[in-house]
């Protein structure tokens, strides 16, 4: 479904910057970021954790990023692995509680206990807007 060249690897058009290019599979499979907009990239993720053998950390550090905000599919796998990978690399982490599937009270407790910030999407937007 998400293989190189398949339609499933495409990001929903509503989430992309205007005139974003299609993913360049050859570039991404060589572990290179593909810039698609101002401060926006495609990055190939080969395993559950987004940092595992990827260029994500280098790409973020080059931009001076110190905090990541996570939303996505299936907390027990991809999101959880990425949280721990980010934390061990000293990134501040915000988990969007209403933007993560299969997220439960146990997940909230686990993340709170290791210092992860939990916010709803609206709370995060308000923080970013300085409200």
- Residue in the block written with tokens 């593909």: 34
Q: What is the pLDDT along the chain (131 residues), one digit of tens a residue?
A: 678 888 888 899 998 999 999 999 999 999 999 999 988 999 999 999 999 999 999 999 999 999 999 999 899 999 999 999 999 999 999 999 999 999 888 989 999 999 999 999 999 999 999 98
Q: Do residue 56 and residue 119 come from a single domain?
A: yes
114 and 70, same domain (yes or no): yes
The domain total for the chain is: 2
| Statement to judge: residues 54 and 118 lie in one domain | yes
Residues 73 and 100 occupy one common structural domain: yes
Q: Are residues 106 and 90 in the same domain?
A: yes
State if pTM tops 0.85. Answer: yes
Residue 36 backbone dihedrals phi, psi, to 5 degrees: -125, -5
- 74 and 17 fall within a common domain: no
**Are residue 57 and residue 36 in the same domain, yes or no?**
no
Torsion of CA 88, 58, 49, 129, to 10 degrees: 80
Domain enclosing residue 33, as ranges: 1-44
């Amino acid at each position: 479904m998400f293989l190189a060249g398949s339609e499933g690897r495409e990001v929903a058009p509503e989430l992309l910057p205007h005139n974003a290019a299609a993913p360049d599979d050859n570039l991404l499979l060589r572990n290179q970021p593909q810039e698609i907009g101002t401060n926006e990239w495609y990055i190939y993720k080969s395993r559950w954790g987004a940092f595992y053998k990827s260029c994500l950390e280098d790409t973020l550090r080059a931009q001076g990023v110190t905090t990541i905000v996570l939303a996505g599919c299936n907390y027990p796998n991809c999101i959880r692995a990425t949280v721990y990978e980010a934390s061990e690399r000293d990134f501040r982490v915000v988990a969007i509680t209403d933007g993560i599937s299969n997220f439960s009270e146990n997940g909230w407790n686990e993340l709170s206990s290791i210092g992860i910030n939990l916010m709803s999407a609206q709370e995060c937007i308000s923080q970013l807007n300085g409200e």
